[in-house]
Structure 1
Amino acid sequence: MTASPPHSYRIGIDPADIDFMGHVNNASYLKWVQEAVINHWQRIAPADAVAAHLWVALKHEIIYRKPTFPGDDVIATVLLEKVQGARAFYETIIRRGEEVLAEVKSSWCCLDARTLRPARLATSVVDRFFPNDRGPNPLPPSRERVS
């Protein structure tokens, strides 16, 4: 299985993201990754799957490359690498133009929204994220979305 098509998510830099050194605090990157991954899920999964499932982060590995400043135009590009059982593995690249600001590898657990127990996704839902590996493309031609 190859990674899913890239999903772009525009980052809004809030004044609360700025630390004492005048750039974005490292903790804000985690908030951005969560927003971008959840946006990816909500954009591609069918509405009934979105309503029935929640995602929680299990692990993040972040490499900070360059600082981010107020007013920067920042985009997070999300790649779903694989889904295994109730877990999903993502890579998120945060950029300012062509500059890579941070690279994040993360793993997530899918939960049943009612029981809050780990839940496997139906194959038909997973297939929507990997159209090149599993048959016809269920999505419109444009993959790069900027919210």
Structure 2
Amino acid sequence: MTTLPHAYVIDVDPADIDFMGHVNNASYLKWVQEAVISHWQKLAPAEAVAAHLWVALRHEITYRKPAFLDDEVIATVILEKVQGARAFYDTVIRRGEEVLAEVKSSWCCIDATTHRPARLTRAVIDRFF
């Protein structure tokens, strides 16, 4: 039960570049978070977006190739499943056809007011599948 891919265009910022002249590994984490949140904001109803926040629980990143300042980079996000208050994503970061990084991540949905884990309604989940 996976969703259709969500493409998220990444702007490589000069602040992303490390002492070796390529994108710092920490920037990939930032990009994955931005891409997953973009996916949520695009498909969830406005009231669900306002009522829920997402916190990353785990990122497993496999780096394949370095990215550089002038690269055109896209993150493709696929929601694999939702289980309770958790969501499981696969994200692939590419420069053209070249895979720069592959990321498996899990996220916890939390109530925006109480900051406690929150399950999404079936109606909200169904919008993603």
RMSD: 0.3
Is residue 83 from structure 1 mapped to residue 82 from structure 2 by the alignment? yes
- Aligned partners of 2:25 and 2:33: how far apart in 1? 14
Could you say which residue in structure 2 is the equivalent of 1:33?
A: 32
Q: Which consecutive residues of structure 2, in runs of 5 or more, have no partner in the other structure?
A: none
SS of equivalent to 1:69? coil
Confirm or deny that 1:66 pairs with 2:65.
yes
Given the two structures, how large is their TM-score scaled by the length of structure 2? 0.99
Alpha-carbon distance in structure 1 between the residues aligned to 2:39 and 2:11: 16
Q: Tell me the amino acid that sits aligned with residue 32 of structure 2.
A: V
TM-superposed deviation, 1:76: 0.1
In the alignment, structure 1 residue 4 sits paired with structure 2 residue 20:
no
Percent identical pairs in the alignment equals 78
Q: 1:34 corresponds to which letter in structure 2?
A: Q
Q: Which AA in structure 2 matches 1:28?
A: S
Which is richer in strand?
Answer: 2
Taking the aligned partners of 2:11 and 2:44, their CA distance within structure 1 comes to: 24
| Deviation (angstroms), 1:17 | 0.3
Q: What's the TM-score, normalizing by structure 1?
A: 0.87
What is the distance in 1 between the residues matched to 2:7 and 2:30? 15
Equivalences, count: 129
The aligned residue for residue 103 of structure 1 is 102
| SS of equivalent to 2:127 | helix
Paired with 1:12 and 1:83, the residues of 2 have a C-alpha distance of 29
